[in-house]
């Protein structure tokens, strides 16, 4: 009886595997020829490219109010980020490097942490992350008012490159490489 039970269980397992394999092969046959055909892009707010950057006033990690209009006439990068976002943390040292490289033309980077508004990190944790990454550019604590001004941030990082006239030249959401970042920065420091 024991041997017969083992045989039956093995046979059922083989049938189950066979059915699963057949089912998965059927689903492979339905895949599009190109992976880009069914690419699902997360929803994004309206494009701000070519529009005047909305002014905002937020608190920095020391509690001081900083406004975008404080940087009128200067090229500014506004970068939404979070402590739990690996691409954000990868980009921050690059922004630090570009802040130094383009200091002559007056480039300013403003890092807007969304951690506070999402309750995902305390200001102390945000400050510790900034210190660990040796970031010296201003870090501001974003709040829900930013959604009305810049739309919902569905994917981090999201970065706005603003020229000297206060116009958004690029609105990049999601990770970008260092070369593209510098290309966008060169566009706004001219």
Q: What is the pLDDT of residues 34-49, one digit of tens each?
A: 443 443 444 455 678 9
* Domain membership flag for residue 81: yes
Backbone angles phi, psi at 57, to 5 degrees: -135, 120
Lowest mean pLDDT among 15-24, 57-66, 67-76, 94-103: 15-24
Residues 76 and 26 occupy one common structural domain: no
Confidence (pLDDT) at 1:
58
Residues 7 and 71 occupy one common structural domain: no
Q: What is the mean pLDDT of residues 106-129?
A: 94
Mind giving me the DSSP string for the chain? -HHHHHHHHHHHHHHHHHHHHHHHHHHHHTS-SSTTTT--PPP-----TTSBPPP-EEEETTS-EEEGGGGTTS-EEEEEE-TT-HHHHHHHHHHHHHHHHTTTTT-EEEEEE-HHHHTSS-HHHHHHHHHHTT--S-EEE--THHHHHH----SS-EEEEE-TTSBEEEEEES---HHHHHHHHHHHH-
Residues 88 and 169 occupy one common structural domain: yes
Name the pTM for this structure: 0.76
Residues 95 and 130 occupy one common structural domain: yes
Tell me which residue range forms the domain holding 99.
Answer: 57-189
Residues 21 and 112 occupy one common structural domain: no
- How many other β-carbons are positioned within 10 Å of the β-carbon of residue 57? 12
Residues 62 and 24 occupy one common structural domain: no
CATH of the domain at 74: 3.40.30.10
Residues 6 and 91 occupy one common structural domain: no
* Domain membership flag for residue 39: no
What is the percent of the chain where pLDDT is above 70?
76
Q: Name the band, by pLDDT with cuts 50, 70 and 90, for residue 25.
A: very low
Which residues, listed in sequence order, are joined to residue 73 by a DSSP beta bridge?
Answer: none
Lowest mean pLDDT among 14-18, 69-73, 128-132: 14-18
* Domain membership flag for residue 17: yes
């Amino acid at each position: 009886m024991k041997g017969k039970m083992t045989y039956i269980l093995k046979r059922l397992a083989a049938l189950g595997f066979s059915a699963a394999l057949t089912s998965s092969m059927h689903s492979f046959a339905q895949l599009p020829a190109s992976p880009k055909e069914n690419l699902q892009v997360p929803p994004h707010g309206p494009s701000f490219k070519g529009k005047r950057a909305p002014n905002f006033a937020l608190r920095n990690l020391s509690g001081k109010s900083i406004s975008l209009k404080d940087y009128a006439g200067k090229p500014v990068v506004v970068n939404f980020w979070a402590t739990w976002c690996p691409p954000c943390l990868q980009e921050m040292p690059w922004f630090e490097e570009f802040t130094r490289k383009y200091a002559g033309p007056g480039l300013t980077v403003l890092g807007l942490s969304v951690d506070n508004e999402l309750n995902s990190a305390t200001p102390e944790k945000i400050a510790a992350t900034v210190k660990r990454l040796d970031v010296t550019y201003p870090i501001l604590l974003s709040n829900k008012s930013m959604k009305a001004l810049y739309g919902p941030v569905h994917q981090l990082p999201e970065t706005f490159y603003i020229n000297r006239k206060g116009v958004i030249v690029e609105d990049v959401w999601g990770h970008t490489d260092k070369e593209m970042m510098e290309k966008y920065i060169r566009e706004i420091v001219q």
